[in-house]
Structure 1
Amino acid sequence: MSEASMAERDVHRREPEREAEPGRETAGERIEAAVGSVISGKHAEIRTMLTVLLAEGHVLLEDVPGVGKTQLARAFAAAIGGSVRRIQCTPDLLPSDITGMSVLDQKTGELRFQPGPVFANIVIADEINRASPKTQAALLECMAEGQVTVDGVTHVLPTPFLVVATQNPIDMEGTYALPEAQRDRFMARLELGYPDEAAEHAMVTARETAQPLDAVRAVTSQAQFQAEIDEARAVRAHELVERYAVRLARATRGHPDVRLGASPRATLQLVRAAKAHAHLLGRDWLSPDDVKALAPHVLPHHLVMHDPQARHDEARAVVAQALASTAAPIMR
Structure 2
Amino acid sequence: MPVEELIFPDRLKAHQQKIKQVFNEVSKVVVGQTYMVNRLLIGLFTGGHILLEGVPGLAKTLTINSLSKALHLDFQRIQFTPDLLPSDLIGTMIYNQNASAFEVKKGPIFANLILADEVNRSPAKVQSALLEAMQEKQVTIGESTYMLDLPFLVLATQNPVEHEGTYPLPEAQVDRFMMKVYIDYPKKEDELEIMRRMANMSYSDTVSKVLSKEDIFSIRNEINQVQISETLEKYIIELVFATRRPAEYDLNDFAPYIQFGVSPRASIALNRAAKAVAYFDERDYVLPEDIKEVAHDVMNHRIILNYEAEADGIKTKDFIEAILRKVPIS
TM, length-normalised to structure 1: 0.87
Q: Supply the distance in 2 between the matched residues of 1:231 and 1:25 (Cα, whole angstroms).
A: 11
State the SS of the aligned residue for 1:104. strand
How big is each residue's C-alpha offset from its partner over 1:50-97, in whole Å with a ceiling of 9 and x where there is no partner?
122211111111111111110111111111221100100011101111
Residue type of the partner of 2:129?
Answer: A
Give the corresponding residue for 1:231.
Answer: 222
How big is each residue's C-alpha offset from its partner over 1:274-299, in whole Å with a ceiling of 9 and x where there is no partner?
11111212222222221111111111
Give the corresponding residue for 1:323.
Answer: 324
* Counterpart contact for 1:258–1:305, Cα < 8 Å: yes
CA shift, 1:106, in A, is: 2.6
Residue type of the partner of 1:328?
Answer: I
How big is each residue's C-alpha offset from its partner over 1:145-164, in whole Å with a ceiling of 9 and x where there is no partner?
11101112111111111101
* Counterpart contact for 1:80–1:225, Cα < 8 Å: no
TM, length-normalised to structure 2: 0.88
2:75 to 84, 89, 97: 84
Change (3 A) 1:308 1:161: farther
1:177 to 168, 173, 190: 168
Give the corresponding residue for 2:65.
Answer: 74
* Counterpart contact for 2:15–2:215, Cα < 8 Å: no
Change (3 A) 1:19 1:196: farther
Which 5+ residue runs of structure 2 have no aligned equivalent?
A: 1-8, 247-254
Give the corresponding residue for 2:120.
Answer: 129
CA shift, 1:112, in A, is: 1.6
* Identical counterparts, % of pairs: 36
Give the corresponding residue for 2:99.
Answer: 108
2:201 to 185, 190, 209: 209
CA shift, 1:124, in A, is: 0.2
Q: Supply the distance in 1 between the matched residues of 2:47 and 2:310 (Cα, whole angstroms).
A: 29
Which 5+ residue runs of structure 1 have no aligned equivalent?
A: 1-17
Count of paired positions: 312
Q: Supply the distance in 2 between the matched residues of 1:40 and 1:236 (Cα, whole angstroms).
A: 34
Residue type of the partner of 1:194?
Answer: Y
Indicate yes or no: 2:298 matched with 1:298: yes
Q: CA RMSD in A?
A: 2.4
Q: Supply the distance in 2 between the matched residues of 1:236 and 1:245 (Cα, whole angstroms).
A: 14
Q: Supply the distance in 2 between the matched residues of 1:243 and 1:123 (Cα, whole angstroms).
A: 34
Alignment of 1:246-285 (within 5 A): 246-255=237-246, 256=255, 257-285=257-285
Residue type of the partner of 1:187?
Answer: M
State the SS of the aligned residue for 1:302. coil
* Counterpart contact for 2:179–2:298, Cα < 8 Å: yes
Residue type of the partner of 1:204?
Answer: M
Residue type of the partner of 1:320?
Answer: E
